[in-house]
Every structure is written in C-alpha cells, then in structure tokens.
C-alpha cells in the first residue's frame, strides 16, 4: 500500500469524525474567503473610481474629513467651499490642467441622481467624452446626461428634466464610459451654482499635470496661490483604503480566530487517531518504518484535512459572497462606496491566500500529534490493547 | 448513533451561530432608505411618502422636532459632529434618543425656518 493510499484510508476510517473535522476548517475558511472577497472587490472599486476621475491631483477645501474625500470618488453631494477666484488661480499655474466640479443631487422618479456643474468644453477635453445621441450643449436651459442614467430612466434627447424646480431640456447623451460618469446629469457650472444657491463656489478641482515627476512642486504652488488643500490621487486611494482597512482587519481577525479554532479541532482529531492506532504504529515500526516516516504519515493526514477543508470552505465562501452581495450595501464596511457591485466574486489571489492559509494552519496543527506518534516506542505501541 | 445525531445537531447549531454572529458584526447598525445628503440637495424633487435613514444629531422637544444627519457620514466620521447638512424631522410621536440610527417615513414639506427650507413630516420613526 502506498503512503498516499494509507493516509487517505486512515482519514476516512471514521467517517463522521472526518466529516466534522473537515467542516470545522471549512467554516473558518469560508468566513475568511467571504471577507477577503469583499475586501478585494472594494479595493478594486476604489482604484477604478480614482482612475475615472482622470486627475493626478485633487484640490479640496481645507479641513475636509475622510468621508468627503471618499465622496470625491463616489459622486456624493459635497459641500461647496472653493470660490471661482481660487479656481482661476489654480488654473493659471503653468503645466497643469484644472477643471472644477460642483457636486450636487436631485431625484428622478424619487430616485436620487448626481448632478455635476462643470465648465463644458474644458471638461469634455479633460475626460475625452464623446456624444452618443443628440448634441453636447450645456447652458442655462440645456443639460447632458451619462449613458446609464439615460438607460435607467428611459431618457432621450429632447426630454424635459426638472432640477430644483427649474425645467431643462436634455440635449445629449454621452457615450458609455464604464464608470460613475455614466450616472450623472451635467449642468453648466454657472447655472448649477445659481440653481443650488452656492454663490461662486465649487466642491473640488481635478488637476492633470504635464510632468508627473513634478507633482510635489505643483502641489506646493497650488497651496501657495490659493487657500486650499491638495491631495494626490494615490493619497486619496490610500486615505479611503485606510478607513476600509481598519474595518477589514478586524473582520479578518474574527475569521482567523475561526480557523484557529478549527486547527485545535484537527489537533484533537489527530491525537484521538494516534490513541486508537497505537497498535498499527507499532506494527509499522516492527516492519521497519522509521520515526520520520511515521511523522510524515500523520503530518500528511493533517495537511489533507486542511486541503479538503480549504476547498470546501472556498466553495462555501464564494457562495456566501454571492448571496451576501445584495445585502451589504448598507453595511459599515461598504457604506463609503454604497455599491454592492463592488463585491468581487472570484479572485485568484483570494483562492491562493485562503488555500495556503488552510494548509499551513493544518500542517502546524498536525506537528504535535505527528511528533507524538513518531516518539512512541515499538514495545509500548505493540503492547497496546 | 444517538451521539452522532446529537453531534450533528450541535455542529449545525454552532455553524449557524458563528455565521449569524459574523453577519451581525459587519452589518450593524443597519438601516434602509434615502440618505440625508441625497434629499438635502433637492428635497422637493421627492414626491409622496419617502423613507429616509440617518443618525439623530439633536432634539427640539418643544417643537416636536429632531435633526438627522447622513447615515454614511455618521458611520465614516463615527459621530454626529462633522456634517454640514442635516434634515429636520417633525414628528408628533415620541422623539428618538440622540445619537441613534433611525428610519423616517414621511413627506417633504416647505418650511423656511428649517435648515434647507424643508422638513420631513414623519408618519413613522423607527429606531434601529
């Protein structure tokens, strides 16, 4: 009988014990996989939204908290605190392209929709937008919308929209961009400022730089010229991920504890198995099996528990992520992004991490029982009844 | 045989308990409805009865009113101190405690004296 066959035969000798030990590790791995899937998906979503902004620097009012920084990426309505005067000062710096955003909200059929006040031509160039239907025209009476909004509310060029009690004509629908730009109604900046009663202020300014190696210099110059704060796109991502990371690390700790509990289950199972198989160990020793062989036999058994439990846990974890996705939108974990679509259902990195974790924990749990089995004396083992 | 059945029931119970605890850990405090920041920008765009979620920032018992801030902002800032926008809720029933998450069902009405020029006339307030 080969070593592999012997290990598998021993494992499945007591079927209920085998099943329960596997389930123990599977539950731990399932919770770990679920949390890793959520975390990976959210990180990808944050990076995607940051890329969609198309800016290397974001100029914000001083004193913005983390929630407001996140809202730059998520399209939530933002306080308006940068005056046009500062926008012009920033735009006047050589080597940068600056476009202001005034981010507000309205509703269509009682569904909230983001409204962004922009400078029409600079923004079109900044974002490389193309028109899909109608024309690109923004003025006191005209708006354009993203493709998803048009699809969701069955809008077409020429339709009338009411924003804060004022009627507008929908002039055009933008080509799909695959990001949050598709979910927005765009207004001319001056019209939006008047409509929302914010004076001459904007929410933030997105900045593209000509030379990315001079980012610090540009950042310093912007802050010297205007009374504003500047964050780089990378800092923005780091800031968002730091908040999410605090929550995620806590949840992963809980999952790790579940796996640890399963590891103790493996130790218990293996010790019981050694006790029951003392005689068999003695026979193996009498047949010439070395301590190393016996040690490896029990360690393989333990690793196999980890492998099988890991596979089962992965399947359960991905299933749990799939079913949990529609319900996590309002959780603390995702409240920042407000998007259930951000849950990543399958990721090779998550599979790798979870399987490695399952096998390593199972191997570690198997070391002591395997060592104990290998230390049995042949006389003690054979004389066991 | 009895022992196996007992173990199986026990195990299922433990799995359900652990998954339930894990689920509660990352979903609480949960509330449904429109967010205050969404409503605040264009309150009169919402017609008929709506449901708004938020955290109670302060109470005005003499007017039967309380102020709610954005739920997500409350979660992110872990408090009621930082928001610049809030909604006034007018409610004839018992006012919810300050700092609690609530779901408010009601209609938007004009009120020049309130922040943003509107109040939510609540027919139901659920403390979460």
Q: Are strands B50-60 and B34-35 parallel, antiparallel or unpaired?
A: parallel
CB contact under 8 A, A328 and B71: no
In this predicted structure, the answer to whether residue A213 has a pLDDT above a threshold of 90 is: no
Same-domain pairing of B61 and B11: no
* The two three-digit tokens of residue B24, written as one number: 């509660």
Predicted-complex ipTM score: 0.70
* The two three-digit tokens of residue A328, written as one number: 């996590």
Share of chain A above pLDDT 70, in %: 85
Note the helical H segments in B1-128: 2-27, 36-41, 71-77
Interchain contact A72–B (C-beta under 8 A): no
| A141 Cβ contact list (under 8 Å, min separation 6) | A167, A168, A169
Same-domain pairing of B103 and B66: yes
Same-domain pairing of B19 and B69: no
What is residue A93's three-state secondary structure?
coil
What is residue A292's three-state secondary structure?
helix
Q: Are strands A57-60 and A204-209 parallel, antiparallel or unpaired?
A: antiparallel
Residue B62 Cα, gap to closest chain A Cα (Å):
30
Residue B83's CATH number: 2.40.50.140
What is residue A69's three-state secondary structure?
helix
Task: State which residue of chain B sits closest to A244, comparing Cα positions.
Answer: B76
Q: Are A54 and A99 in contact (CB under 8 A)?
A: no
State pLDDT tens for residues A9-41.
Answer: 777 777 888 888 888 888 888 888 877 777 777
Q: Are strands A166-174 and A160-163 parallel, antiparallel or unpaired?
A: antiparallel
The span from the CA of A241 to the CA of A243, in Å, is: 5
Total number of domains in chain B: 2
Same-domain pairing of B75 and B87: yes
Residue B27 Cα, gap to closest chain A Cα (Å):
4
Same-domain pairing of B40 and B3: no
* The two three-digit tokens of residue A234, written as one number: 């990378």
Q: What does DSSP assign to residue A13? A: S
Per-residue pLDDT of chain B (128 residues; tens, 9 = 90+): 444 555 555 656 666 555 555 554 444 467 889 989 889 989 999 999 999 999 999 999 999 999 999 887 787 676 766 666 789 999 999 999 998 999 999 999 999 888 888 999 999 999 98
**The residue count for chain A:** 385
Among A52-61, A254-263, A344-353, whose mean pLDDT is lowest? A344-353
Q: Are B126 and B71 in contact (CB under 8 A)?
A: no
Interchain contact A241–B (C-beta under 8 A): no
Same-domain pairing of B86 and B120: yes
CB contact under 8 A, A65 and B82: yes
CB contact under 8 A, B38 and A254: no
Same-domain pairing of B21 and B41: no
Same-domain pairing of B25 and B38: no
pTM: 0.66
* The two three-digit tokens of residue A369, written as one number: 């029982």
Could you tell me the residue range of the domain that residue B14 belongs to? 1-30
Q: For A153, phi and psi rounded to 5 degrees?
A: -105, 15
The span from the CA of A385 to the CA of A279, in Å, is: 7
Same-domain pairing of B41 and B3: no
Omega before B29 within 30 of 0, i.e. cis: yes
Same-domain pairing of B123 and B75: yes
Picking from B69, B88, B95, the residue whose alpha carbon sits closest to that of residue B80 is B69
Nearest Cβ partner for A336 among B72, B84, B85: B72
Instruction: Name residues 15-44 of chain B within 8 A of A (Cβ).
Output: 15, 18-19, 22-23, 25-32, 34-35, 37-42, 44
State pLDDT tens for residues A271-287.
Answer: 888 888 888 888 888 88
Which residues of chain B make contact with A19, given a CB cutoff of 8 A? none
Which residues of chain A make contact with B47, given a CB cutoff of 8 A? 110
Same-domain pairing of B11 and B48: no
What is residue A244's three-state secondary structure?
helix
Q: For A298, phi and psi rounded to 5 degrees?
A: -75, -35
Interchain contact B103–A (C-beta under 8 A): no
CB contact under 8 A, B18 and A27: yes
Same-domain pairing of B78 and B22: no
Provide mean pLDDT across the span A192-214: 90
The span from the CA of A212 to the CA of A51, in Å, is: 15
State pLDDT tens for residues A93-102.
Answer: 999 999 999 9
DSSP B48-83: S-EEEEEEEEEEEGGGTEEEEEEHHHHHHHTSSSS-
| A143 Cβ contact list (under 8 Å, min separation 6) | A161, A163, A168, A169, A170, A171, A185, A186, A187
Q: What does DSSP assign to residue A160? A: E
């Amino acid at each position: 009988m080969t070593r592999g066959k012997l290990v598998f035969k021993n494992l499945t000798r007591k079927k209920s014990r085998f099943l329960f030990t596997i389930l123990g590790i599977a539950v731990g791995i399932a919770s770990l996989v679920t949390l890793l899937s959520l975390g990976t998906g959210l990180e990808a979503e944050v990076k995607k939204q940051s890329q969609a902004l198309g800016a290397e620097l974001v100029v914000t009012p001083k004193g913005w908290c983390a929630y407001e920084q996140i809202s730059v990426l998520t399209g939530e309505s933002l306080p308006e605190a940068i005056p046009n005067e500062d926008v012009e000062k920033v735009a006047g710096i050589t080597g940068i392209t600056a476009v202001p955003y005034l981010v507000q909200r309205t509703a269509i059929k009682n569904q909230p929709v983001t409204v962004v006040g922009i400078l029409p031509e600079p923004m079109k160039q900044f974002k490389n937008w193309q028109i899909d239907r109608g024309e690109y025209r923004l003025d006191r009476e005209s708006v354009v919308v993203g493709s998803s909004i048009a699809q969701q509310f069955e809008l077409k060029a020429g339709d009338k929209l009411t924003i804060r009690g004022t009627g507008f004509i929908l002039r055009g629908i933008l080509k799909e961009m695959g990001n949050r730009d598709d979910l927005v109604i765009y207004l001319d900046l001056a019209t939006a400022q008047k409509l929302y009663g914010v004076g001459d202020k904007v929410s933030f300014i997105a900045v593209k730089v000509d030379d990315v190696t001079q980012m610090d210099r540009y950042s310093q110059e912007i802050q010297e010229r205007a009374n504003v704060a500047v964050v780089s796109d990378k800092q923005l991502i780091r800031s968002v991920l730091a908040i999410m990371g605090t929550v995620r690390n806590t949840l992963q700790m809980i999952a790790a504890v579940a796996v640890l509990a399963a590891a103790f289950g493996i130790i218990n199972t293996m010790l019981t198995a050694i006790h029951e198989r003392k005689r068999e160990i003695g026979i193996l020793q009498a047949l010439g099996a070395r301590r190393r062989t016996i040690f490896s036999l029990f360690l393989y058994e333990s690793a196999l528990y980890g492998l099988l439990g890991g596979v089962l846990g992965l399947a359960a974890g991905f299933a749990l992520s799939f079913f949990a996705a529609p319900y996590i939108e309002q959780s603390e974990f995702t409240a920042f992004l407000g998007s259930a679509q951000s849950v990543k259902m399958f990721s090779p990195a998550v599979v790798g991490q979870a399987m490695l974790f399952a096998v390593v924990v199972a191997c570690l749990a198997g070391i002591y029982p395997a060592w104990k089995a290998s230390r049995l004396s042949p006389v003690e083992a054979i004389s066991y009844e | 045989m009895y022992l196996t059945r007992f173990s199986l029931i026990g195990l299922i119970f433990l799995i359900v308990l652990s998954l339930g605890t894990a689920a509660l850990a990352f979903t609480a405090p949960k509330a449904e409805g429109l967010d205050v920041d969404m409503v605040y920008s264009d309150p009169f765009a919402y017609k008929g009865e709506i449901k708004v979620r938020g955290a109670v920032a302060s109470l005005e018992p003499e007017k039967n009113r309380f102020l709610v801030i954005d739920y997500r902002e409350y979660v992110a800032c872990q408090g009621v101190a930082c928001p610049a926008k809030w909604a006034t809720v007018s409610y004839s029933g018992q006012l919810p405690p300050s700092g609690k998450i609530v779901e408010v069902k009601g209609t938007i009405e004009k009120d020049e004296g309130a922040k943003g020029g509107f109040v939510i006339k609540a027919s139901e307030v659920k403390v979460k």
